[in-house]
Structure 1
């Protein structure tokens, strides 16, 4: 985005970048735990030290990868709608250049996406040849095999991926399962100009229309890619709504309190088996509350080393998200081929996570860095 004049006090976007870094690392660690550490049933059968038991129990906190993607959706809606939100706050109207919008989105997202497609193809083909058991879903582990059975290079997986709709026909492009959320994102970008036409009529009309589409899809459409797109749409729109709210006023303390309360309630509730229609309401609360809490953090934390580290990682989060899984799956395939199972300890998972981060940094330098845009500054 073109750089605008910086105001006296900028919206806390640095912490949102740090949030993206935390979320990307969380997803990576969760996949490393799943693919490179034995499941609980095997773990409980062996003798282990008390401290390793504590670490194993703590690692169970990495099982919320799907919820993390929901926060990514809210972040996406926030950043995409931020420029229009600023215009609305200043003059209660906005201008939108359709051609420029899509040119920028394609320039920013497609080259790293193509890079990840090629990386997945190369790594997976080598893995298929050297360590075939995992890739052929023949490990004997029900969770692994039921997941990897849908990962291949058939026309059902290749054609949707080439049209920016990976996994939309039920098959992942190779091992790269995380691609599924990119298909959703690309559709939301296509919907955005149409949604803005309704948004011109007013905020209520815009957001109620989006939520109505989700409710209609949930109750009237059979399980399908389109239905899943629609029922996730309010999560993306919740980020857009937060963008409009934040550019208009400072956050009062009671909003921060409500955000912490909403985050706590939504996190507890997602652990229960509620219907999908209610779960996606919880995901809206989860995503929007997280954004509000993060942007309310004081500017004094910007120079803290941990914040700066995750802010740095956050700038590379797109590459990390779309490139990490084939690498982790390759190591897992080697482990299963050599030892017949995943390791009983977590050291290989940790080392692989660190090595994968370093490789993704290299991939970022090779590709994504050349297609990044400057940041919009808002008061």
Structure 2
């Protein structure tokens, strides 16, 4: 493995089997939505096409998996900091902001570039940027969501709170959710700490409740999904399971998760059941067992490819959509122009997907991959005190 791409010291390899594929599912859903007609527009699709649409339509479910994993990672950060008596609100906030900004800033700049290039190429004529809902992504005229104010709002994690997501980069919506959870969760932990004064605990409670109230119903409604990951981590700290049992349980959970995601995509409904919560619960249980399992070096080598995919998951998530949209704008003017998924067009679209994936990896290599270097620089210039910080796919850094 190349230098700089080795797993961190505290590493839970099985979680990569969740995070890496989740990022890929989001990537594939946007790819399919932007380049191929909707399933309902197909005439007598065969089994292979049904499976294709089933496998490339689970982006929302994948984001639920991301939220659970994020809760687990942040719980680890907060727990270990308090355990080592090294907790610092300032250091924690700086670590979270740098973790997000190292990809978010380039993503916003590249979104501005690709959207400008696409609208310029359209030349004022009819285009997918007109806000007609192209590919289930572009629901607002792009000229209305590319202002400097909206750019700044997204930079400050205010999208879906006070401003819309910037440009064509729809996946930006979840970043503000994450950031708010990053703030609320430590405050809730402070409320539970007996060592804190009553005034500080009351202030922390008011801060958490006030922030969720300002953020709005959707962000507050998704917080329990995120908390499920934190709960899985704390249960892991308090209850140990034999590694073989944990490994088999994780495997069964992975199969169950895939089955539930597939079922949720078929349109099959059970009265009173929200598939998102079932996915959340199964993922949290899987995380609990995944944290417990101790893998042999041989087994770790088998899952190592997923470490690489997981390592780029944040960059892949945040970088792909604007370039996909730009390329789609070169071929289409409206939803009805999208391709039927025959072999020829599948080959073309697959080549496009490979190019965009490679582009994301390239940007990652100059940005997210340098997170450790950025933090060392912040230590050297005195912005933060020297603290050993491990970064990685599902390490304490998250």
TM-score (norm 1): 0.76
Which residue does 2:380 correspond to in 1?
Answer: none
Q: Which moved more, 1:150-159 or 1:166-175?
A: 150-159
Any unmatched runs of 5+ in structure 1?
Answer: none
Distance 1:275 1:233, change over 3 A: farther
User: Which among 59, 69, 72 is matched to residue 63 of structure 2?
Assistant: 69
- Displacement of 1:168: 2.8
C-alpha distance in structure 2 between counterparts of 1:249 and 1:339, whole Å: 52
Distance 1:146 1:170, change over 3 A: same
C-alpha distance in structure 2 between counterparts of 1:353 and 1:22, whole Å: 15
Q: Where in structure 2 are the equivalents of 1:310-349 lying within 5 Å? A: 310-337=306-333, 341-345=337-341, 346-349=346-349
Which residue does 2:228 correspond to in 1?
Answer: 238
Distance 1:353 1:310, change over 3 A: farther
Distance 1:135 1:339, change over 3 A: closer
Which residue does 2:384 correspond to in 1?
Answer: none
Which residue does 1:23 correspond to in 2?
Answer: 22
Q: Which SS does the other structure have where 2:189 is aligned?
A: helix
1:374 pairs with 2:382: no
Distance 1:144 1:96, change over 3 A: closer
Q: Which SS does the other structure have where 1:250 is aligned?
A: coil
Q: Where in structure 2 are the equivalents of 1:32-181 lying within 5 Å? A: 32-44=31-43, 54-86=48-80, 95-131=86-122, 133-138=127-132, 143=136, 146=139, 152-154=145-147, 157-169=150-162, 171-181=164-174
C-alpha distance in structure 1 between counterparts of 2:92 and 2:217, whole Å: 26
C-alpha distance in structure 2 between counterparts of 1:273 and 1:156, whole Å: 43
Which residue does 2:356 correspond to in 1?
Answer: 356
User: Which among 229, 232, 236 is matched to residue 219 of structure 2?
Assistant: 229
Output one character per residue of 1:198-251: Cα deviation in whole Å (capped at 9) or x when no partner.
Answer: 23259xxx9xx99xx99xx8xxx8xx9511111111111111111112233432
C-alpha distance in structure 2 between counterparts of 1:142 and 1:240, whole Å: 34
C-alpha distance in structure 1 between counterparts of 2:293 and 2:356, whole Å: 30
In the alignment, is the contact (CA less than 8 A) between 1:108 and 1:371 conserved in 2? yes
C-alpha distance in structure 2 between counterparts of 1:349 and 1:107, whole Å: 34
Q: Where in structure 2 are the equivalents of 1:302-317 lying within 5 Å? A: 302-304=300-302, 307-317=303-313
Distance 1:25 1:333, change over 3 A: same
C-alpha distance in structure 2 between counterparts of 1:339 and 1:186, whole Å: 33
Which residue does 1:14 correspond to in 2?
Answer: 13
C-alpha distance in structure 1 between counterparts of 2:291 and 2:354, whole Å: 28
Which residue does 2:189 correspond to in 1?
Answer: 196
- Displacement of 1:280: 5.7
Output one character per residue of 1:90-139: Cα deviation in whole Å (capped at 9) or x when no partner.
Answer: x6x96521111011112222132111000000001101111361011358
Q: Which SS does the other structure have where 2:51 is aligned?
A: helix
Q: Which moved more, 1:98-107 or 1:334-343?
A: 334-343
Distance 1:230 1:350, change over 3 A: same
In the alignment, is the contact (CA less than 8 A) between 1:153 and 1:174 conserved in 2? yes
Relative contact order, higher structure (CA 8 A, sep 6+): 1
Q: Which moved more, 1:143-152 or 1:350-359?
A: 143-152
- Displacement of 1:330: 1.2
Q: Which SS does the other structure have where 2:328 is aligned?
A: helix
Q: Which moved more, 1:308-317 or 1:320-329?
A: 308-317
- Displacement of 1:145: 5.8
In the alignment, is the contact (CA less than 8 A) between 2:35 and 2:339 conserved in 1? yes
C-alpha distance in structure 2 between counterparts of 1:142 and 1:55, whole Å: 18
C-alpha distance in structure 2 between counterparts of 1:366 and 1:87, whole Å: 29
Q: Which SS does the other structure have where 1:96 is aligned?
A: coil
TM-score (norm 2): 0.73
In the alignment, is the contact (CA less than 8 A) between 1:74 and 1:235 conserved in 2? yes
- Displacement of 1:44: 1.4
- Displacement of 1:324: 0.6
